[in-house]
Chains A and B, each alone.
Chain A
Amino acid sequence: MSYQRYCLVCNSSKCGHYSKAIADNIKHYLRENNIKDIKVVMTECFGLCKQGPIVKIMPDNIVYSGVKPMDTKEIVEKHLINGEVVSRLVHENKKSKQLKIVLRNCGFIDPENIDDYIEKDGYFALAKALKMSRMDVINEIKLSGLRGRGGGGFPTGLKWEYAYKQNSDQKYVVCNADEGDPGAFMDRSVLEGDPHSVIEGMLICGYAIGSNKGLVYTRAEYPLAVKRLSKAIKDAREYGFLGNNIMGSGFNFDIEIKYGAGAFVCGEETALIRSMEGERGEPTSKPPYPAESGYWDKPTNVNNVETFANVPVIINKGANWFNKIGTEKSKGTKVFALAGKINNVGLIEVPMGITLREIIFDIGGGIKDGKRFKAVQTGGPSGGCLTEKDLDTPIDYDTLLAKGSMMGSGGMIVMDEDDCMVAVAKFYLEFTVDESCGKCTPCRVGNKRLYELLEKVTSGKATFSDLDKIKNLSNVIKDTALCGLGQTAPNPVLSTITNFWDEYVAHVNEKSCPSGQCKELIRYIIDHNKCVGCTACVRVCPVYAISGKVREPHTIDQDKCIKCGACYNTCKFDAIYKK
């Protein structure tokens, strides 16, 4: 059977509630009209969930949004039979929310085939740059407005200029591929999906600042990224893009991979450089900045994977093309790793200035299981949480900072109504306490004490003066820690205490956790009206905390209960509840 047309019905997350009815109705009306050459097909998310449910007619390429089951008759009779578009349902704005610049080749080309990359204009930017003066290349990057994607957002062109201006017999280009944030996988995906774009970016940087040696610092936990990058480096050498006298220009450059041991702090540029030298991965104070004195005390330009992957596009398409995308002070796109309680977990790339609402409720498909959105953490353990009231803020480097969070490297973890924000802050702080290198006291001791204070809160032992202490200590650590890890570690605490003060208060005042997450504050209680006395709970309780006669309501001894939840999960009568 061959079909003339397809009727695509979105069957994912939000649209899913209606999709079956919509599809069934369309099929019904098609049958009623004896139409056999149109097929109804269920699809995954269109990335337009706020406007859902979505129906698309192909090959007409008409998208209908907000379709209700009762609209289907009109769609079938008017559009599918008479060829007239149902204008009141047409989704006009066909522009997608996502724009792929960094991910332009990711998922499209074979990362281990250099010809695939060249076919997509790969290494043309290098060829073009080699014909420009070094300062012209730097000016192009400056004009583009590109800022570092590793977290800080420092203007890339300026950084290159500093390195360019250093007089030295040897300079280095370092690609920071350490990516230690929990929940982040942007850089890994770029290296695995399009390693040549990073190599080309590094080459252009090397040419611009006057360096002949590049180093990629990555973690041993990324074996596939390393394998594909190694293959790419080998192929680039064979083609003469790496090596001596590259494309007859007299420019020499080669790249080596350095393996980190996987410590978060080694993503910090000075610690990273120490680690590459074989020293302990501990940060040093800045200045001197790596651009003056970095790897083996030579001028070193450190950029993130994603920053480098942007460079070839800027050179190819021009700074004026690039700087039209994004907001006034943040140009281009940002790759985010969407994770947490969200339907469409995945890797996305969006223009700067998009709102969180568009990211979470359109691209991300909204919150899992129809739960309520509570907060989203950006910037990983160094960032903060943003809440409902921030959903419509256009996001870029500066607005996120103003909201007490940060862009970070692009991890975005979504939390729903079931998450306790004190516990979330504690989780991130535990990560930083574990990852602290121990070099300076505010971070080594301060963050540990801060963690203990949070533990007091989540176990219901804290007082109001402890909350004050938490705020004060956080600010002291921020001001005095040596490196970014310690300085930003209290951010999740400060931002949750500001945005979710009530939750902290509930833990202190009522000794209760509103989300029912803090184990020590929950109580499992048997509802005597529902309990039938089946004794199932008695048998699963590991500490014999439940008593009662057969066929009579049971009771939990709160002093014995260890809050494992075994009884709660076992009860078939919903007679046990959490409080």
Chain B
Amino acid sequence: MKKINSYDELIKHKKEIEKNKRSELNKIIIKISLATCGIAAGGSHIKDYIIKRLEEENIKEYIIKDVGCMGYCYLEPTIEITLPGYQPVVYGNVDEHKIDEIIEKYLINHEIVDGIIPINYETI
């Protein structure tokens, strides 16, 4: 990566990032809460399992992102899913069984399933 040498270059770089992200808009984005708390609750295993299941289902257009603590320690492992054109949905306390259900019903059929965490904060 080349250095960012001025304010203008920073703006330019941000625009480039945004442009590259546009190609992500038609992909499924799955964020997995992988801070110490999430990892302790088995988040890494859930991540591996999701990747395995997506492969089995032949779903290719997806991005998996490791993110920090979402704040729901009592509901770890926690994942957030954004389907193309939909609002993000967060699921807590996920296990293999829940992942199967989410993939089958939500990812494939866009049908929301039990266990979502409603957004209970405002942000800037």
Q: Tell me whether A118 and B33 are in contact (CB under 8 A).
A: no
A239 interface residue, CB < 8 Å from B? yes
Q: Bin chain B's interface residue count.
A: 35 or more
Q: Tell me whether A239 and B3 are in contact (CB under 8 A).
A: yes
- Residue of B18, B68, B115 contacting most chain A CB atoms (<10 Å): B68
Q: Tell me whether B74 and A346 are in contact (CB under 8 A).
A: yes
B25 interface residue, CB < 8 Å from A? no
Q: Tell me whether A192 and B7 are in contact (CB under 8 A).
A: no
User: Which partner residue on chain A sits nearest B120 by CB separation?
Assistant: A47
A59 → B minimal CB distance (Å): 9
Which residues does chain A contribute within 8 Å of B73, judged by CB atoms?
Answer: 345-347
Instruction: Tell me the chain A residues, 1-54 only, with Cβ under 8 Å from chain B.
Output: 1-3, 6, 8, 10-11, 39, 41-48
User: Which partner residue on chain B sits nearest A121 by CB separation?
Assistant: B14
Instruction: Tell me the chain A residues, 161-210 only, with Cβ under 8 Å from chain B.
Output: 185, 188-189, 192-194
A1 to B13, CA, bound (A): 43
B92's partner among A44, A103, A130 (CB-CB below 8 A) is A44
Which residues does chain A contribute within 8 Å of B118, judged by CB atoms?
Answer: 8, 10, 43-47, 56
A110's partner among B17, B67, B80 (CB-CB below 8 A) is B67
B71 → A minimal CB distance (Å): 4
A278 to B123, CA, bound (A): 41
Stretch at the interface among A90-98, A295-303, A428-436, A568-576: A90-98
Which residues does chain A contribute within 8 Å of B92, judged by CB atoms?
Answer: 44
Q: Tell me whether A1 and B67 are in contact (CB under 8 A).
A: no
- Residue of B21, B66, B113, B114 contacting most chain A CB atoms (<10 Å): B114
B37 interface residue, CB < 8 Å from A? yes
B71's partner among A103, A105, A130, A224 (CB-CB below 8 A) is A103
Q: Tell me whether A2 and B122 are in contact (CB under 8 A).
A: no
B33 → A minimal CB distance (Å): 6
A308 interface residue, CB < 8 Å from B? no
User: Which partner residue on chain B sits nearest A313 by CB separation?
Assistant: B124
Q: Tell me whether A118 and B13 are in contact (CB under 8 A).
A: yes
User: Which partner residue on chain B sits nearest A364 by CB separation?
Assistant: B74
User: Which partner residue on chain A sits nearest B71 by CB separation?
Assistant: A347
Instruction: Tell me the chain A residues, 347-387 only, with Cβ under 8 Å from chain B.
Output: 347-349, 363
Q: Tell me whether B36 and A96 are in contact (CB under 8 A).
A: no
A49 to B30, CA, bound (A): 28
Q: Tell me whether B17 and A115 are in contact (CB under 8 A).
A: yes
Kindly list 10 other residue pairs between chains A and B, CB separation below 8 angstroms, not including A107-B68, A108-B31, A127-B7: A8-B116, A44-B116, A56-B118, A99-B123, A103-B71, A110-B65, A111-B67, A189-B69, A193-B35, A349-B121
Instruction: Give me 26 A-to-B residue pairs in the complex whose CB atoms sit less than 8 angstroms apart, sorted by A's number.
Output: A8-B118, A39-B111, A39-B112, A43-B114, A44-B92, A44-B116, A47-B118, A95-B122, A97-B121, A107-B68, A107-B80, A118-B10, A118-B17, A119-B14, A124-B14, A127-B7, A128-B7, A194-B68, A222-B36, A238-B3, A240-B3, A240-B5, A344-B72, A346-B72, A346-B74, A347-B69
B residues contacting A by CB (< 8 A) are: 1, 3-7, 9-10, 13-14, 17-18, 21, 31, 33, 35-37, 39, 65-75, 80, 92-93, 109-124
